[in-house]
Structure 1
């Protein structure tokens, strides 16, 4: 019995010796290794010789271009679908030199075609104060454009070109259910390089301040390279549909891509376009309030009845909220170094839709227009109330300062 372990060890050693000296050296295990370890696809090649004064050059060339992989095919499909809808925009303004001589100044941006009538959407800051606006299509044809509407609050502008045949409108998607990690593409005119596409992902959905310090709710943050000249161009999903309008770079002083770009959500643009069509101007609905976003920690500290929602800090005099009887804050406190007003009503829902942050409120506003009546569910202290509010027109409150919604 004691000899069995010894015999087993001897057999194992003999087997190992045989494999390493006979089987392995003959290459018999190579097919098994090739099955276990994947190798790069082999491309058929041919040898070619170039002869000249410097001698002979022996080159190895592929017999044919390799097939595109799945990811490359998707990139190409997005580009081919979206490019005919993307335009370059050149705006010309007139400045004056030291001797009051007129000096033309040009700016460049991007935009995209909305319909076959020639309407084009871009950023307001691309054409702001321009005396002349010119649009170049993907086929290199140029057209003089007319500015038919601007919304400085959302940094959007609507242009029109006439007598342009065979226009291909962009397809507009929804931006309400975008997800961090989703693949996105930006096509535009960075540094004047027309038809440039970059790719990345949605890095975050957050509220930011635009080029003119205007609030942009639900802004789409992306790491797709965005540079000067991309402004106003489309941000696309993997189906080549517009989900946003590229508008801003976080650059820390360097006027080029830093891997942090922002786009206005397309649902905001749809609401603006609908106002242009119906009223000839933008009628942004507003509650005329300044709010503070509340989470569990803040709610616990100040003893709120719910651990989410928007706390009304201030109601604008004569505004929609004041007319409906909503209450603003009465007690000043500090959140870090920022003064806030506590004691106001806490908004937790609009028309039964839960409101947990400013993005939810923005989405609810984008689904309404000025003059609509909505039902706000609020907590006043620990009492739950439903309050009907008739939404005001934001343009009527232009002179008011603060974080109004």
Structure 2
């Protein structure tokens, strides 16, 4: 073995010795790790549910099968040339009986050419329109589904609701089926304008999250009872801002039976077609010819024909005489200040009911008995 070869071998041995020493001292300095027992996720102690959580769960489990997803298809004309294009919409609905009747908002199905109802089990069924009431934004559908798949909601009352009372909304926001949100009743007796140009009274305001797709879903109390139907939100973005509105079940109870039996709501009519709202009351301007008000003796504006001679010519013209028009100040001894007050008072009655219209006539206060008629189709 020559010197060079020994030198190379020696360098090799030194290197190996260094590695072995390093391994030895490194092992001595490092702590010893012991594998822990694997975590048993299946046998961890279960936390007890709070009373509030139990209520939330009970309401959802009792009611979610009563909520359906409504999908609509329509054809709309868009653009400068009014080119027809398909349009789709979605909302919620409430099963109200085993015959397949479903409650929803009119604006959910307005203009729809095809309506599909998706039930809790994911099955899709054709739905047809039974009746609508644009004035209150209410519609009733009929779903062609087996009775065993239909779980009617349980009806409650809206007569004794309290601000601060807990409420639950179930719907299909953004297409997310049967989503539960919770909140409280924020206020009662709100007024809500509708697309029909009328105002719905006694609206429930809630801070439960209501988003696009929730319309037509139920508002429930802690006993899983229906107290209203969600219908609108107050928002600048179109998404929930903590101000939602629901039509009370008391209003629905007056409307829905008529929609099922006749397809429309037959409202009482006083035969007064135009009034002017003043600081003192409602000035009667026009009446339905041979209507209830005219037959009762209510007075509106009169059209007076007059003639005037101008030289050899005689000019004839018409003049509106307001001097004899009645000023409506009450209905059934309840003060009336606005048009909404008058409509609410009349629409709380039925055709054939007799009411007392309080008027001021030429400085005198008197009550005029009037028998309400059914609203005319024209």
TM-score by length of 1: 0.67
Task: State yes or no: 1:66 paired with 2:38.
Answer: no
Q: Contact conserved, 2:355 with 2:372, CA < 8 A, in 1?
A: no
Q: Shift of residue 313 of structure 1?
A: 4.1
Q: Shift of residue 219 of structure 1?
A: 1.4
Q: Shift of residue 260 of structure 1?
A: 1.0
Q: Contact conserved, 2:284 with 2:326, CA < 8 A, in 1?
A: no
Q: Shift of residue 264 of structure 1?
A: 1.5
Task: State yes or no: 1:111 paired with 2:81.
Answer: no
Indicate the residue corresponding to 1:373 in structure 2. Answer: 353
User: In the aligned structure 2, how far is the partner of 1:162 from the partner of 1:199?
Assistant: 31
Q: Contact conserved, 1:329 with 1:344, CA < 8 A, in 2?
A: no
Which has the higher mean CA deviation after the structures are superposed, 218-227 or 160-169? 160-169
Kindly tell me: are residues 56 and 229 of structure 1, through their superposed partners in 2, closer, same or farther at Cα, counting changes over 3 Å? farther
Indicate the residue corresponding to 1:269 in structure 2. Answer: 252
Q: Contact conserved, 1:180 with 1:201, CA < 8 A, in 2?
A: yes
Match of 1:95, SS state, is: strand
Match of 1:227, SS state, is: coil
Kindly tell me: are residues 59 and 386 of structure 1, through their superposed partners in 2, closer, same or farther at Cα, counting changes over 3 Å? farther
Match of 1:82, SS state, is: helix
Kindly tell me: are residues 135 and 325 of structure 1, through their superposed partners in 2, closer, same or farther at Cα, counting changes over 3 Å? same
Unmatched 5+ stretches in structure 1: 1-54, 303-310, 331-341, 398-405
Q: Contact conserved, 1:187 with 1:196, CA < 8 A, in 2?
A: yes
User: In the aligned structure 1, how far is the partner of 2:297 from the partner of 2:57?
Assistant: 56
Task: State yes or no: 1:234 paired with 2:218.
Answer: yes
Q: Contact conserved, 1:174 with 1:243, CA < 8 A, in 2?
A: yes
Task: State yes or no: 1:82 paired with 2:63.
Answer: yes
Indicate the residue corresponding to 2:120 in structure 1. Answer: 138
Which has the higher mean CA deviation after the structures are superposed, 212-221 or 233-242? 212-221
Kindly tell me: are residues 394 and 183 of structure 1, through their superposed partners in 2, closer, same or farther at Cα, counting changes over 3 Å? farther
Equivalent pairs counted in the alignment come to 313
TM-score by length of 2: 0.71
- Equivalent residues in 2 for 1:351-370, closer than 5 Å: 368-369=349-350
Larger Rg: 2
Task: State yes or no: 1:170 paired with 2:153.
Answer: yes
Unmatched 5+ stretches in structure 2: 1-34, 303-324
User: In the aligned structure 2, how far is the partner of 1:59 from the partner of 1:154?
Assistant: 58
